[in-house]
């Protein structure tokens, strides 16, 4: 299997985009990625796109064919992949396989979601389809409630506090303030986060990622040819996916996501790395508790120490490990199908040294961690500079 | 890239299944495929599932993780793939790539749709998301109307008649009568078909595939190891996918599906075969006109001659080429995400000589042709006996 590199990355400004539709967003991201790679559509021989719920959100399924059509790429195969909020990373993983296998040389991978065409209650119901529809959603358990239970248990087992949760939001807004693509580019204080409206005790508005429109895309090529396309290719060292139970109540533990532990352990092994080697990571902070759990599952901190680490600033830029330099899902926004691909864009720009005010120094290895539902799917990718 | 074989196949009885839900259907098909392959879940290292619209139809996205959970396969990666009514074949294609690349050895591929939880009008609206939501569905063009336009144009250009269309339905019901999994196992006359209620002129009820619940699954392994699992592995010679415009009005021709022509030409070339080599084919007869167009696009008959060929019995068992021996979408039923995998099951059973009263004699090569929407995605697979 050949090694694969990202040779181009692009995304739309995330936010509430009432002027444009699904197809405009994904086309813009795709074109930006192609422009960044300085290639034309003729060189693309396949594509993958991650979208969670375009059928319910905008009435459009069959989005692979839509994108091939609207990007002028017919008749190349473009395939939609879905794994709830991990859809973007699953599309990336399929794209990597298409290139690493030798089936294709240059592949475009997109992620997209158009979420603001419906009201928040409807969107919340649709997003509930990422969990167990029969045993969670049908009984009223939407995601703030599910993650609230994880948070409450983490507090019970480890003494994690609401201040620790809030500190994740403060840090991610701080990072989002340097990201021109972020939905929220404003800084917030711990007091603002702590005083924000309760959503599902103990999670407040500022513990929750927003509803967002947006798209992101990357262009992949075999590493052996990547330097002929890009001066700064980013090599993908590992791409691992694992599953856990769909429903939260079937888990042995509420304070860690087993699928994420398995995927990351396999990824580190594949790449010959340890958590200490990683200096920049985009993790799935759909809620602040999710980032704390992720930093433990990924081995950055021992179980139960993620909350204190966040409060102590160890996950800030300049800390032990820079987590969510993009602003994470919290501040960049979370167009669910796009998030995994956006994470790959951010890590690419960090490894290329192009993140300006949000740049982490001396970055050697990067990681992305993307979760579907409450953790029934987890996908971990590892990256390094390919130049 | 390694050659890949089907070592097990299974499906549910297709029909209106009001007693069971999405997860029961797909689990049953998966278990039947595993039983047919005589392997346990421990030997499966990955999976793919095709579903078009589970989010809209049953409120459940994230079906890859659902299946891993309900089949007891955690933590292996299972990924949902979607390309409208071609979702099943796209899942098969991803499964083939996972095995041919060497990433995985034994992979399960499922297809499923649970469609009867909603009323027909709602389902029709949801299925309209397979076309162009903004430029077709929003303006009222659902699929019977789109295929009616293709039929009318075919009649105008080639003199195709309503009797020719009806003869496809009669033949597929004849075949369905021998298929224990078929939704409709009753024979019909040309008169019944011709006198059935008009849906979208010239397409009548008997020109349309039904709304169906069902699931199908196959187990894949590398050909080099297939005989250690199965006495009768079926080798997959080619797996090709192509795209065309999402909307019908953007096509150069309404009487052929360019994506299907491209996918089949590439598949024949890959396998070193010609249309004359194929003795049994499952093609995408969502409407009778679609089968006629398919038999032309696949090179079985010259453009414009598909209708007459059907009326003359050349596509019956015992004719030039046996088309839709399962009963096709028309009589077996069309649970959209399941159809492509069901086609692979039927071809496997034909090549294994296990189709009983519906068996075609001296079968050497088989073909499946699965289309999304009005032809924006087309997937063609070629098969031969691997023993």
- Alpha carbon distances (Å) from B319 to A123, B310, B313, B382: 53, 10, 6, 20
SS3 B87: helix
pLDDT at A203: 98
For β-strands A198-200 and A203-204, DSSP reports them as antiparallel
- Name every chain B residue with its beta carbon within 8 A of the beta carbon of A1: 101-103
- Closest Cα partner for A51 from A324, A287, A372, A326? A372
| Residue A59 near chain B (CB below 8 Å) | yes
For A171-217, write each residue's pLDDT tens digit: 999 999 999 999 999 999 999 999 999 999 999 999 999 999 999 99
Structure tokens belonging to residue B141: 């063009």
What is the average pLDDT across B309-335?
98
May I ask the CATH class of domain A4-119+212-234?
alpha beta
CB A350 within 8 A of CB A363: yes
- Name every chain B residue with its beta carbon within 8 A of the beta carbon of A141: none
Structure tokens belonging to residue A372: 């579907």
Taking residue B156's Cβ as centre, other Cβ atoms within 10 Å add up to 11
What is d(CA A301, CA A92) in angstroms, rounded to the nearest whole number?
Answer: 27
**A79·B83 Cβ contact <8 A:** yes
Taking residue A224's Cβ as centre, other Cβ atoms within 10 Å add up to 11
* CA distance, residue B282 to nearest chain A CA (Å): 21
- Which residues of chain A does CATH 3.40.47.10 include? 4-119+212-234, 120-210+237-385
Cis omega (within 30 of 0) for bond into B191: no
B288-297 and B258-271 helices, crossing angle to 10°: 50
**A241·B79 Cβ contact <8 A:** yes
Confidence at B275, pLDDT banded by 50, 70, 90:
very high
Query: Which helix (H) or strand (E) segment is A216 a member of?
Result: strand A214-222
- Which residues of chain B does CATH 3.40.47.10 include? 4-119+212-234, 120-209+236-385
Confidence at B318, pLDDT banded by 50, 70, 90:
very high
Distant-in-sequence, close-in-space partners of A65: CB < 8 Å, separation ≥ 6: A78, B83, B84, B243, B244, B246, B372, B373, B376, B377
Taking residue A271's Cβ as centre, other Cβ atoms within 10 Å add up to 21
For B6-27, write each residue's pLDDT tens digit: 999 999 999 999 999 999 999 9
What is d(CA A127, CA B86) in angstroms, rounded to the nearest whole number?
Answer: 25
Structure tokens belonging to residue B39: 């392997």
pLDDT at B276: 98
Confidence at B173, pLDDT banded by 50, 70, 90:
very high
- Name every chain A residue with its beta carbon within 8 A of the beta carbon of B78: 243
- Closest Cα partner for B54 from B110, B136, B9? B110
What is d(CA B359, CA B362) in angstroms, rounded to the nearest whole number?
Answer: 9
Confidence at A2, pLDDT banded by 50, 70, 90:
very high
CB B300 within 8 A of CB B147: no
| Residue A55 near chain B (CB below 8 Å) | yes
For B192-239, write each residue's pLDDT tens digit: 999 999 999 999 999 999 999 999 999 999 999 999 999 999 999 999
What is the average pLDDT across A139-144?
95
* CA distance, residue B22 to nearest chain A CA (Å): 10
Count of helices and strands (H, E) across chain A: 14, 12
CA B160 to chain centre: 24
The question of whether B334 is a catalytic residue gets the answer: yes
Query: Which helix (H) or strand (E) segment is A120 a member of?
Result: helix A120-127
- Name every chain B residue with its beta carbon within 8 A of the beta carbon of A90: 79
What is d(CA B26, CA B32) in angstroms, rounded to the nearest whole number?
Answer: 10
- Closest Cα partner for B73 from B64, B81, B60? B64
User: In the CATH scheme, what is the code of domain A120-210+237-385?
Assistant: 3.40.47.10
| Out of A76, A78, A83, closest to residue B62 by CB | A83
Q: Which residues of A are the active-site residues?
A: 85, 334
- Closest Cα partner for B362 from B258, B277, B248? B277
Domain B120-209+236-385 has CATH 3.30.910.10: no
* CA distance, residue A245 to nearest chain B CA (Å): 5
**B75·A259 Cβ contact <8 A:** yes
Confidence at A291, pLDDT banded by 50, 70, 90:
very high
pLDDT at B354: 98
Query: Which helix (H) or strand (E) segment is A182 a member of?
Result: none
Distant-in-sequence, close-in-space partners of B68: CB < 8 Å, separation ≥ 6: A243, A376, B47, B74, B75, B76, B77, B78
For B283-315, write each residue's pLDDT tens digit: 999 999 999 999 999 999 999 999 999 999 999
pLDDT at B192: 98
Confidence at A274, pLDDT banded by 50, 70, 90:
very high
Count of residues making up chain B: 387
* CA distance, residue B360 to nearest chain A CA (Å): 32
| Residue B45 near chain A (CB below 8 Å) | no
Q: Nearest-5° angle of CA A303, CA A309, CA A311?
A: 130
For A52-68, write each residue's pLDDT tens digit: 999 999 999 999 999 99
What is d(CA A60, CA A38) in angstroms, rounded to the nearest whole number?
Answer: 30
The string over B267-303, giving b where at least 16 C-beta atoms fall within 10 Å of a residue's C-beta and e elsewhere, is bbeebebeeeebbbbbbbbbbbbbbbbbbbbbbbbee
Confidence at A166, pLDDT banded by 50, 70, 90:
very high
| Out of A59, A94, A258, closest to residue B94 by CB | A94
| Residue A244 near chain B (CB below 8 Å) | yes
What is the average pLDDT across B332-351?
98
Cis omega (within 30 of 0) for bond into A75: yes
Taking residue A287's Cβ as centre, other Cβ atoms within 10 Å add up to 28
Calculate the average pLDDT of chain B. 98
Q: Which long-range contacts (CB under 8 A, 24 or more apart) does A294-297 make?
A: A294/A257, A294/A260, A294/A369, A294/A371, A295/A321, A295/A323, A296/A256, A297/A256, A297/A257, A297/A260, A297/A261, A297/A264, A297/A369
**A94·B79 Cβ contact <8 A:** yes
Site from A24, A79, A381 to mutate, B interface, most B CB atoms within 10 angstroms: A79
- Closest Cα partner for A26 from A63, A1, A77? A63
For β-strands B4-11 and B234-243, DSSP reports them as antiparallel
SS3 A49: strand
């Amino acid at each position: 299997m050949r090694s694969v590199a990202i040779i181009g990355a692009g995304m739309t400004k995330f936010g509430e985009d009432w002027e444009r539709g699904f197809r405009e967003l994904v086309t813009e991201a795709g074109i930006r990625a192609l422009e960044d790679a300085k290639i034309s559509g003729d060189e693309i021989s396949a594509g993958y796109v991650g979208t969670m719920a375009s059928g319910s959100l905008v009435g459009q399924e069959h989005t692979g064919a839509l994108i091939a059509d609207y990007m002028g790429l017919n008749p190349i195969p473009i395939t939609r992949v879905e794994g709830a909020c991990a859809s973007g990373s699953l599309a990336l993983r399929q794209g990597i396989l298409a290139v690493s296998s030798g089936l294709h040389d240059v592949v475009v991978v997109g992620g997209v979601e158009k979420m603001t065409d419906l009201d928040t209650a409807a969107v919340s119901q649709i997003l509930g389809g990422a969990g167990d529809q029969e045993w969670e959603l049908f009984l009223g358990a939407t995601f703030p409630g599910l993650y609230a239970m994880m948070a409450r248990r983490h507090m019970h087992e480890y003494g994690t506090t609401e201040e620790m949760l809030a500190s994740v939001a403060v840090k991610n807004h701080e990072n989002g303030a340097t990201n021109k693509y972020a939905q929220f580019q404003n800084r917030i204080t711990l007091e603002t986060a702590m005083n924000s409206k309760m959503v599902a005790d103990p999670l407040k508005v500022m513990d929750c990622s927003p509803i967002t429109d947006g798209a992101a895309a990357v262009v992949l090529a075999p590493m052996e040819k990547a330097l002929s396309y890009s001066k700064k290719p980013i090599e993908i060292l590992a791409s691992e996916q694992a599953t856990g139970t769909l429903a939260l109540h079937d888990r042995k533990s509420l304070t860690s996501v087993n699928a994420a532990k398995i995927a990351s352990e396999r990824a580190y092994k594949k790449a010959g790395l340890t958590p200490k080697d990683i200096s920049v990571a985009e993790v799935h902070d759909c809620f602040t508790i999710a980032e704390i759990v992720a930093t433990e599952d990924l081995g950055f901190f021992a179980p139960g120490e993620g909350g204190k680490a966040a409060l102590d600033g160890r996950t800030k830029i300049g800390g032990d490990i820079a987590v969510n330099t993009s602003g994470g899902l919290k501040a960049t926004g979370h167009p669910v199908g796009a998030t995994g691909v956006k994470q790959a864009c951010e890590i690419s720009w960090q490894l290329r040294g192009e993140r300006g005010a949000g740049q982490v120094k001396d970055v050697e290895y990067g990681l992305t961690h993307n979760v579907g539902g409450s953790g029934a799917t987890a996908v971990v990718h590892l990256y390094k500079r390919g130049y």
